[in-house]
Amino acid sequence: MDQTTSHALETPYVQAIEHESAGRQVIASGSPPLLSVTGLTVALADRPETRLLDAVQFELRKGEFFALVGESGSGKSVLCSTIMGVASSELRCLGDIHIDGRPLADVDRRQRAMIYQQPSLYLNPVRTIGFQLRETVQMVGGLSKKEASQRAADLLCDVGIDDPRETMRKYPHEMSGGMNQRVMIAMALAMKPKLLIADEPTSALDVTTQKQILDLLERLRSDMAILLVTHDLGVALQRSDRIGVLYAGQLVEIGRADLVDRAPLHPYTRALFSAVPPLSEHPRRLQSSSRSLPEPGQRQAGCSFASRCSGTLDICRRTRPALQGIPQQVVACHNLEA
């Protein structure tokens, strides 16, 4: 990525994310972040005033399951592809991304892997699953064809495929969406990544398969950090340690999932969470409304939510609020009293 300018936020990011809520993993706040994103601004190269992401800032630690939620068009996929280092050449990225303390440009590409909503688009239709998985395994290093076949079969077992040898003979079109998604996850695991980014990995799947894939991701989390992009607030709340809420390119709130559920702080998060039924009623989908989200070219200075907020002050239109708050929940808002 282009990092000619470093874009720093005024307020230091709060690091501690330690918690012990039921069933969730305890992440040591003292450990250095696995992923650190600082002041990440992504704009159109030929129209720098059009920002798709604006000073995005957050961190992830090993073993953490972080859910990123936001309406369609808020910039979730742009953020994922930028972290992966595969942002479109039409975009200009400013800010810093570090993995394990090293700038993205110096990090081995295999340390991060991504799975997508439509695995069939990323699998080669004219190659068998076995060929593709073996190829990935061999790329990672040093195995003979036979050893790579065994490793490929083992990986398919790891992602819950019972008949790996049979599956390896199949082509992607002979498999269900859920099975292809498992194959994509197996390919990601072949890289032994430290960071797994899942961009709406279950949106195209039925509810049962969705649950299986999310269970699988949860099992994998102990070895890596997982960044899950989801439209489904229920999934975000039930599965993740922390939630980040993205609105029109700005990360407006980051907090421990249970705290965000119980007491969302940002007016946008509050609106989002009040518009959906309680946690038990699953799924809780974010409504995407093109009218509610300002287009990247029409975003004003200051808070991205100012034009929709009932508590807007003068400062909200002028100055972008920085994330602040207690370590477990930070919010970017000038008027928390409203």
Ligand X SMILES: Nc1ncnc2c1ncn2[C@@H]1O[C@H](COP(=O)(O)OP(=O)(O)O)[C@@H](O)[C@H]1O
From the list 224, 210, 249, the residue with the least C-alpha distance to 52 is 249
Nearer Cβ to ligand X, position 83 or 196?
Answer: 83
Assess 118 for contact with Mg ion (CB under 5 A).
Answer: no
Q: Which does 296 bind (CB under 5 to 8 A by kind): Mg ion, ligand X, none?
A: ligand X
Contacts with Mg ion, 50-89, as mask; x by CB under 5 A? --------------------------xx------------
**How far apart are CB 200 and ligand X at their closest, in Å?**
8
Min. distance of Cβ 77 from Mg ion in angstroms? 3
What is the number of alpha carbons within 13 Å of residue 298 lying toward its C-beta? 9
Q: Which is nearer to ligand X, 190 or 252 (CB)?
A: 252
- Residue 28 CB, shortest distance to ligand X, in Å, is 31
- Render 151-175 in DSSP notation, one character per residue: HHHHHHHHTT-S-HHHHHTS-GGGS
Q: How far apart are CA 75 and CA 14, in angstroms?
A: 22
Q: Is residue 238 part of the contact set for Mg ion (CB under 5 A)?
A: no
State the nearest-atom distance from the C-beta of 74 to Mg ion, in Å: 9
Which of the listed partners (ligand X, Mg ion, none) does 128 bind, with a CB threshold of 5 to 8 Å by partner kind?
Answer: none
Q: In this complex, which beta carbon is closest to ligand X, that of residue 24 or of residue 308?
A: 308
- Number of neighbouring beta carbons within 10 Å of residue 126: 8
Closest residue by beta carbon to Mg ion: 77
Residue given tokens 């797994």 in the structure block: 196
- For residue 190, the minimal CB distance to Mg ion (Å) is 24
Question: Cβ closer to ligand X: 222 or 290?
Answer: 290
For the beta carbon of residue 302, count every other beta carbon within 10 angstroms.
19
Cite the beta strand spans of 131-269 per DSSP E.
Answer: 195-199, 225-230, 242-247, 250-256
Q: How many Cβ atoms sit within 10 Å of the Cβ of residue 72?
A: 14
Residue type, 92: R
d(CA 265, CA 73): 22
The 8-class DSSP code of residue 223 comes to G
CB closer to ligand X, 81 vs 210:
81
Alpha-carbon distance values, 332 to 27, 89, 97, 319 (Å): 24, 30, 21, 11
Question: Which option in ligand X, Mg ion, none does residue 316 bind, with CB closer than 5 to 8 A by kind?
Answer: none
Closer to ligand X by CB, 91 or 323: give it.
91
Contact 233, 273 (CB under 8 A): yes
In the complex with ligand X, which residue's Cβ is closer, 21 or 288? 288
Residue ranges binding ligand X (CB under 6 A): 44, 52, 70, 72-78, 88, 90-91, 296
Structure tokens at 248: 């029109």
Crossing angle of helices 129-140/177-190, nearest 10°?
Answer: 20
- To ligand X, the closest distance from the beta carbon of 197 in angstroms equals 12
Interaction partner, residue 236 (ligand X, Mg ion, none; CB < 5-8 Å by kind): none
Residue 318 beta carbon to ligand X: minimum distance, rounded to whole angstroms:
24
Residues of this chain that bind Mg ion (CB under 5 A): 76-77
